[in-house]
Amino acid sequence: MDRNMRQRLVMAGIGGLAGLSLYLLLEVLSRHLLPDRAALGLTTFSAVFFAAWLAMAGPLRTGRAVVAALGLGLVVAALLSLTGLRFDRVEAIFDQPMTPLAVVLLSSIPLPFFIALAGPGWRDYPTLFTEAWTVVVRYAAAWLFVGVAWAVLLLSQALLSIVDIRVIEAIIDLDAAPWLITGVTLGLALAVVTELSDLVSPYLILRLLRLLLPLVLGVMALFIAALPFQGLSGLFGDLSVAATLLAMAAAAATLVTTAIDQTDAEAVEGAVMVRAAQGLALILPIPAALAGYAVWLRVAQYGWTPERLFAGLAAVLALAYGLIYALAVLRGACWMERVRQGNILMALALLALSALWLTPLLNAERISARDQL
């Protein structure tokens, strides 16, 4: 048996084990065999552990991937369990999207760092950049295959049922079967995508995203140019304006990151695209600062809430990104490398802030309650 086939079997086994574990956990939850808080921790650990293991099992050796995924799963589960102590009901954790988003960030940001740590080093930007985008593309392609596989399976079931053959239907009707089928298919797809990394790579997506640079620069420049004529008073009616500004700032930062790529050799070429990347980096602090101002107006008028605290922290992060990018360009030569190093710093800051959000040190509910008294 060759190496690729062994890896496919291993990944399919991991996926199947993940599906079976999640099915068993759901059974435990539905029958109330565990206290709610214990079930929350166990479910979080399983989801993070298997997702991280599948993401890293290709780039890393299986043993190293298991250890990294195990540590990550334990940390995230412990922090979310700690967050659960703030609420009377465990389900209340998910009433707002902020905590689940913090969990997703805390579970995903470390993955490229773990992979880089096993290679050239955890601060090696080319590895971090490539692996971060590769994980996204691998999972997207694998889930697409899972969807296609299920479509084929259901069509096959429909076809065989015409001649009164119910084998596939009987298998799917088993309680654990959909979970096992999905897990095995996902693991197998991830293994094949990893084998074909030269073909299924993020570079096509990155090149396409670069085409949006001039468009986004033009839209943001037009928005900024219109501000003196429209004024600020009518712009900040609610948090949706801040959310729009933050989303645009995030999109701009992403486009600048795709433009500079992992090294200068792979970065955009041509005066138009380079200037567009520089222009977008220079004006990035403006929407971030406006978003912060929009949040502050709401806080000054109505006080803190978990949503406003989250938006305020997001605005601070966006402004930090904007200042790093703008100062990198203003300092002249080697601006791309300065942005790359800034991206590493901000990824770590985002990771730390996501962890803090789940601890008593940044208890959004307590801060909001005190402010409303």
pLDDT band at 232 (very low <50, low <70, confident <90, very high): low
Q: Does pLDDT of 33 surpass 90?
A: no
Model pLDDT, residue 239: 58
pLDDT bracket for residue 373 (50, 70, 90) = low
Distance CA 201, CA 273 (A): 22
- Closest by alpha carbon to 186, among 132, 233, 236, 148? 148
Residue 117 structure tokens: 């740590």
Q: What is the pLDDT of residue 108?
A: 96
- Beta strand extents in 186-295 (DSSP E only): none
pLDDT given for residue 368 in this prediction: 84
Span 255-304, pLDDT tens digits:
999 999 999 889 998 889 999 999 999 999 999 999 998 899 888 888 88
The pLDDT > 90 percentage for the chain reads 60
Mean per-residue pLDDT, 169-181: 91
Q: Output the pLDDT for position 289.
A: 94
What CA dihedral angle connects 75, 81, 82 and 83, to 10 degrees?
A: 110
For residue 237, what pLDDT is reported?
Answer: 55
Q: Are the C-beta atoms of 51 and 70 separated by less than 8 Å?
A: no
Helix (H) or strand (E) holding 164: none
How confident is the model over 3-31, as a mean pLDDT? 87
Q: What is the average per-residue pLDDT within 48-66?
A: 91
Mind listing the pLDDT tens digit for each residue in 101-120? Answer: 999 999 999 999 999 999 89
Query: pLDDT at residue 226 above 90?
Result: no
Q: Is the pLDDT of residue 204 over 60?
A: yes
**pLDDT score recorded for residue 4:** 77
Residues 6 or more apart whose Cβ sits within 8 Å of residue 298: 236, 238, 239, 242, 308
pLDDT at position 79: 95
Which position has the higher pLDDT, 166 or 111? 111
User: What pLDDT does 231 receive?
Assistant: 66
- pLDDT, tens digit, 9 for 90 and up, residues 209-225: 999 999 999 999 998 88
Domain residue extents for the chain: 3-195, 203-372
pLDDT at residue number 18? 92
| 282 Cβ contact list (under 8 Å, min separation 6) | 325, 326, 329, 330
d(CA 99, CA 364): 10
Averaged pLDDT score across all residues of the chain: 90
Q: Is the pLDDT of residue 320 over 60?
A: yes
